[in-house]
Structure 1
């Protein structure tokens, strides 16, 4: 039997709530939107690129956003000493390029694991809690958890637009 990306029922984004409820709710909505764009597709379809010269694929987006979840929540915010999921030293788009050989079922399971881990490290933590990161040019920047949520919502929203176009190319499916 051919593996297909699981079907998903997306929950509605929050209409009313405090700041934390709104940030977590909108991020979950966008996480689920990415999975919705992939739902029902085969491994081959998930590896279908958008249009030349781009090699962007739905599976590449899943791999990329898995790494982004891990990086911002666990490595940056929580300070966990975790290895990169991909060899970015030799290829700064290694997460996208890994889609050619990645097992989609494993990729979707890893995505779910990273989302749950991201949720776990934020439980009981203040949106005002800060962390500092050093950049490659030696400069440092301080961020708070609120910034991470807003950034992640932006990251997913942008890539979900890509996902929508890729999905339309694959089978004509459109929608939000």
Structure 2
């Protein structure tokens, strides 16, 4: 879920079920959550605007499974409808989510009961999934303004600046693509 919508950690931790449209295959990112001086603070997104992000079928399946898991849970202390919660129904602390990335990679690379994978996963941070979400569609030729909208960048120039190296790599193949298209 962290990779496919390209959302920031705080945006996902602020996500409520009321922001999820499973039938319409989209989420509305309305704000962000963080911990400041030991207190959970919820506020606006980085740009100060909400955005709607379309989702693929696989992500919808993950969200449906999460909802079922929460509905089947024992007595819950949480009072609102956060999508990502602890087993008690309370909102997850951002640092917990970030540390899970390293734990999942370690478990994949060193499985308890199975042989080690032929190609271990490299070290990665949770935020790296957002970068993968940005670079993959850019390399596939998706227009910068579409990627910028998904990421919540206020202006596509932000996306161009942050991902200039990806765009330059794609530009390097432009001459060959053009020549092939006109039959050279």
- Structure having the larger proportion of residues in helix: 1
Give the structure-1-normalised TM-score: 0.29
| Bigger relative contact order, structure 1 or 2 (CA pairs below 8 A, ≥6 apart) | 1
Q: Which has the larger radius of gyration?
A: 2
Give the structure-2-normalised TM-score: 0.28
- Structure having the larger proportion of residues in strand: 2
